[in-house]
Amino acid sequence: MKLSLIATIAAVSLAAPAFAQDAAKGEKEFKKCKACHSIVAPDGTAIFKGGKVGPNLYNVIGRPVASEEGFSYKDGIKEYAATGAVWTEELIAEYITDPSKFLEEKTGDPKAKSGMSYKQKKDQADVAAYLGSADVSPDNPANK
């Protein structure tokens, strides 16, 4: 019994770093995204000033895919959105690794392409953690 408890604790301890995300590191990495994306609260408060080529990423975690009002999405992401998908940190991390490959895999359509050509080569989970952090959440009183 004692041995199995020790083994379980060791396994959990060793696995934890693999799932750890660093929102502060993600914020630094997100600077690569600002050429196209911004994070702007509904009242117009700019949390992260950036471009308007891509959709506003305010409150993107938990939001239905391709649902930013007024943004013109490409057919590939609209096809994925039609499945009822909702952005999670895990899906964002997977998407930003290779957006078109992600859409092809999720839709089964080899012609499904993303309008986002940038591929995040590392720290994807950190960027997703930043997007899901209190700093960019409507639950943060500073963002109301």
Q: Flag whether pLDDT at 141 surpasses 80.
A: no
Identify whether 108 is part of a domain. yes
Whether the per-residue pLDDT at 144 is higher than 60: the answer is no
The CA distance from 38 to 49, in Å, is 5
The answer to whether residue 5 scores a pLDDT higher than 90 is no
The whole-angstrom separation of Cα 95 and Cα 102 is 6
Please give the Cα distance from 52 to 30 (Å, whole number). 15
Looking at the predicted structure, is the pLDDT value of residue 3 above 80?
no
Q: Give domain status of residue 2, yes or no.
A: no
**How many structural domains compose the chain?**
1
Torsion over CA of 49, 24, 133 and 73, rounded to 10 degrees? 50
Q: Confirm whether 133 is domain-assigned.
A: yes
Summarize pLDDT for 10-61 with one digit per residue, the tens.
443 443 344 458 999 999 999 999 999 999 999 899 999 999 999 999 999 9
Q: What is the CATH number of the domain that holds 40?
A: 1.10.760.10
Question: pLDDT band at residue 133, thresholds of 50, 70 and 90?
Answer: confident
34 to 4, 12, 109: CA distances (angstroms) = 48, 36, 29
pLDDT in tens, 59-116: 999 999 999 999 999 999 999 999 999 999 999 999 999 999 999 999 999 999 999 9
- Asked whether residue 126 is domain-assigned, the answer is yes
Structure tokens at 122: 């590392």
pLDDT above 80 for 142: no
CA gap 2, 117 in Å, rounded = 52
Q: What is the pLDDT of residue 18?
A: 42
Q: Is residue 95 within 8 Å of residue 102, measured between CB atoms?
A: yes
Write down the pLDDT at residue 21.
Answer: 84
Residue at 14 is within a domain = no
Instruction: Give residue 69's domain range.
Output: 21-143
Q: Is residue 3 part of a domain?
A: no
